Structures are given as structure tokens and as C-alpha cells.
Amino acid sequence: MATIKLLTKIKAPIDKCFDVSRDIKVHELSTKYTNEKAVAGKTSGLCEINDEITWQATHFGIRQHLTIKITKLNRPIFFEDVILKGAFNSMRHEHHFIQVNECTEMTDIFYYEVPFGFLGIWFDKLILEKYMTKFLLTRNQIIKEVSEKTPAANRT
């Protein structure tokens, strides 16, 4: 199983960062280069426990569908989504949040298994791991920007 771990420091309260990271429209904004859209299940608002979302996106020139479920949620410190259907054999994405002084540290731990045996492993090492890391970094940058730009008076 491959693992990608990323830490993003955000100058915003933990509650705000947690909610922004669960916002479907923010996710769509962060993935506009792949035309990712929520097309079934929960399609707007904040993801909650047991929500299922089917995402449609174009990766590597191929339109794909990925259905995930929010399996764990402990506001405002943790939530997890897992794949129900899609291109990965398995996928689990942990989202951890810690308030450190005036900042929130958001840690993503993304676990995944690719199909196609040795060919899948080869593709992962040469291409997919870098692609997924960039995908997650871009997502995290948008979460950071949205969380930090909201005026303090409007933060929850």
C-alpha cells in the first residue's frame, strides 16, 4: 500500500479549516483543472459522517468516477473518507487537524493501492505518486487560501 503524507500550516482557527476542508464546492474549486464535480450522493455543502459522494473527473485524459464515503468524523480534529468504487483497489484518506497557537496544522495521510499488479506498481512509482501528491498539494493550497481569506469576524 502506498502512502502520501502532507502537512499544511494555515493561519486560521481549527473549526474554520475543518469546515472548509469538508466543503464540496471548495473541493471542486481545488480540482477545476480535472473538471472534478460531485455528481451523485452528497453534491453540496459540508461532508458529514456516512455521506457518500460520487466524483466525476478527468485524469490522464480519461473520464472517471470515484465514489467515497465519510466513515469517521470527529469535529474539528479528524475525518476519514474511503473509496467504495473507482480506479484504486483501495483508498483511505485521513484528515487530521491540530490548533497550534494562531495556526492550524492540517495533516493528510492518503493510503492507496493500485490495480494491475506489477504494471500498476510501476505506473505508481513513475507517474501516479507524483500526480497524486500534486493533486493533494493543490487541494491543500486552496483550503489554506479560502480559510485564511475569510475575515476573523466571520470565522466560526
- pLDDT tens figures, 27-58: 999 999 999 999 999 999 999 999 999 999 99
CB 69 within 8 A of CB 63: no
CA distance linking residue 120 with residue 114, whole number of Å: 6
CB 46 within 8 A of CB 22: yes
- Collect all residues with Cβ–Cβ distance below 8 Å to 127 and sequence separation of at least 6: none
Whether 154 is covered by a domain: the verdict is: no
The arithmetic mean of pLDDT across residues 87-105, rounded, is 97
Which pLDDT value is given to residue 151?
A: 61
Whether 62 is covered by a domain: the verdict is: yes
Whether 155 is covered by a domain: the verdict is: no
Whether 58 is covered by a domain: the verdict is: yes
> How many domains are there within the chain?
1
Whether 110 is covered by a domain: the verdict is: yes
Q: What are 101-116's pLDDT values in tens digits?
A: 999 999 999 999 999 9
Region of 72 (left: φ > 0; alpha: ψ -120 to 50; beta: rest) is: beta
The arithmetic mean of pLDDT across residues 141-147, rounded, is 97
Looking at residue 37, which CATH number applies to its domain? Answer: 3.30.530.20
CA dihedral 39, 40, 46, 50 (to 10 degrees): -150
Whether 156 is covered by a domain: the verdict is: no
Model confidence at 154: pLDDT above 60: no
Whether 79 is covered by a domain: the verdict is: yes
Q: Domain range spanning residue 18?
A: 2-149
DSSP 6-25: EEEEESS-HHHHHHHHTBHH
Alpha helices in the chain (DSSP H): 14-21, 24-30, 117-123, 129-149
Whether 143 is covered by a domain: the verdict is: yes
